[in-house]
Amino acid sequence: MTNDKKAEKEELENIAKARKSNSEIYDKLTPMVQSDKGKELLRKALDARAKFTEATDKLIAMADSSSAQHNAAKAPNICLPILTVSTIPTLRP
Protein backbone atom coordinates (compact mmCIF):
# COMPACT_ATOMS: atom_id res chain seq x y z
CA MET A 1 0.00 0.00 0.00
CA THR A 2 1.26 3.41 -0.92
CA ASN A 3 0.22 7.02 -1.08
CA ASP A 4 2.09 7.43 -4.37
CA LYS A 5 -0.64 8.08 -6.96
CA LYS A 6 1.60 6.98 -9.86
CA ALA A 7 2.42 3.69 -8.13
CA GLU A 8 -1.26 3.11 -7.32
CA LYS A 9 -2.21 3.68 -10.96
CA GLU A 10 0.51 1.33 -12.20
CA GLU A 11 -0.56 -1.41 -9.81
CA LEU A 12 -4.21 -1.06 -10.82
CA GLU A 13 -3.16 -1.36 -14.46
CA ASN A 14 -1.09 -4.46 -13.64
CA ILE A 15 -4.04 -6.03 -11.85
CA ALA A 16 -6.34 -5.30 -14.80
CA LYS A 17 -3.83 -6.82 -17.24
CA ALA A 18 -3.39 -9.93 -15.09
CA ARG A 19 -7.15 -10.39 -14.78
CA LYS A 20 -7.58 -10.06 -18.53
CA SER A 21 -4.79 -12.55 -19.18
CA ASN A 22 -6.22 -15.02 -16.65
CA SER A 23 -9.68 -14.72 -18.23
CA GLU A 24 -8.20 -15.49 -21.63
CA ILE A 25 -6.43 -18.56 -20.22
CA TYR A 26 -9.63 -19.86 -18.62
CA ASP A 27 -11.54 -19.18 -21.85
CA LYS A 28 -9.04 -21.33 -23.77
CA LEU A 29 -8.87 -24.00 -21.08
CA THR A 30 -12.59 -24.49 -20.53
CA PRO A 31 -13.40 -26.26 -23.82
CA MET A 32 -10.35 -28.53 -23.40
CA VAL A 33 -11.61 -30.00 -20.13
CA GLN A 34 -13.56 -33.15 -20.95
CA SER A 35 -13.74 -35.33 -17.84
CA ASP A 36 -16.27 -34.85 -15.07
CA LYS A 37 -13.44 -34.62 -12.53
CA GLY A 38 -11.70 -31.97 -14.64
CA LYS A 39 -14.91 -29.98 -15.03
CA GLU A 40 -15.49 -30.10 -11.28
CA LEU A 41 -11.94 -28.90 -10.56
CA LEU A 42 -12.28 -26.15 -13.15
CA ARG A 43 -15.56 -25.04 -11.58
CA LYS A 44 -13.88 -24.94 -8.16
CA ALA A 45 -11.00 -22.92 -9.57
CA LEU A 46 -13.39 -20.45 -11.20
CA ASP A 47 -15.43 -20.17 -7.99
CA ALA A 48 -12.24 -19.52 -6.00
CA ARG A 49 -11.16 -16.95 -8.57
CA ALA A 50 -14.47 -15.12 -8.21
CA LYS A 51 -14.11 -15.00 -4.41
CA PHE A 52 -10.51 -13.87 -4.73
CA THR A 53 -11.50 -11.12 -7.18
CA GLU A 54 -14.24 -9.90 -4.84
CA ALA A 55 -11.87 -9.79 -1.88
CA THR A 56 -9.17 -8.12 -3.95
CA ASP A 57 -11.63 -5.44 -5.06
CA LYS A 58 -12.45 -4.73 -1.41
CA LEU A 59 -8.76 -4.55 -0.56
CA ILE A 60 -8.09 -2.20 -3.47
CA ALA A 61 -10.90 0.12 -2.38
CA MET A 62 -9.49 0.25 1.13
CA ALA A 63 -5.92 0.75 -0.09
CA ASP A 64 -6.77 3.41 -2.68
CA SER A 65 -6.00 6.75 -1.08
CA SER A 66 -8.62 8.49 -3.23
CA SER A 67 -11.41 6.06 -2.29
CA ALA A 68 -14.14 6.89 0.19
CA GLN A 69 -13.48 3.45 1.67
CA HIS A 70 -9.76 4.18 2.18
CA ASN A 71 -8.46 2.64 5.37
CA ALA A 72 -4.94 1.36 4.84
CA ALA A 73 -4.53 0.38 8.47
CA LYS A 74 -7.53 -1.95 8.50
CA ALA A 75 -7.29 -3.29 4.95
CA PRO A 76 -4.90 -6.19 5.61
CA ASN A 77 -6.76 -7.31 8.75
CA ILE A 78 -10.10 -7.34 6.98
CA CYS A 79 -9.21 -8.60 3.52
CA LEU A 80 -6.29 -10.97 3.93
CA PRO A 81 -8.30 -13.56 5.88
CA ILE A 82 -10.92 -13.43 3.12
CA LEU A 83 -8.25 -13.87 0.45
CA THR A 84 -6.69 -16.91 2.11
CA VAL A 85 -9.50 -18.71 3.94
CA SER A 86 -12.24 -18.32 1.34
CA THR A 87 -10.23 -19.27 -1.72
CA ILE A 88 -7.48 -21.75 -0.99
CA PRO A 89 -9.50 -24.55 0.67
CA THR A 90 -11.97 -24.70 -2.22
CA LEU A 91 -9.22 -25.75 -4.61
CA ARG A 92 -8.57 -29.02 -2.79
CA PRO A 93 -9.92 -32.00 -4.74
Q: Quick one: which of 9, 92, 11 has its CA closest to 45?
A: 92
User: Do the beta carbons of residue 63 and residue 1 sit within 8 Å?
Assistant: yes
What pLDDT score was predicted for residue 62? Answer: 76
What pLDDT score was predicted for residue 30? Answer: 96
Domain coverage including residue 52: 5-91
**Gyration radius of the chain's alpha carbons:** 16
Q: What are phi and psi of 2, to 5 degrees?
A: -145, 160
What pLDDT score was predicted for residue 76? Answer: 67
The model's pLDDT over 22-75, given as tens digits with 9 standing for 90+, comes to: 999 999 999 999 999 999 999 999 998 998 888 888 878 777 767 666 666 666
* Residue type present at position 51: K
Report the domain count for the chain: 1
* Residue type present at position 70: H
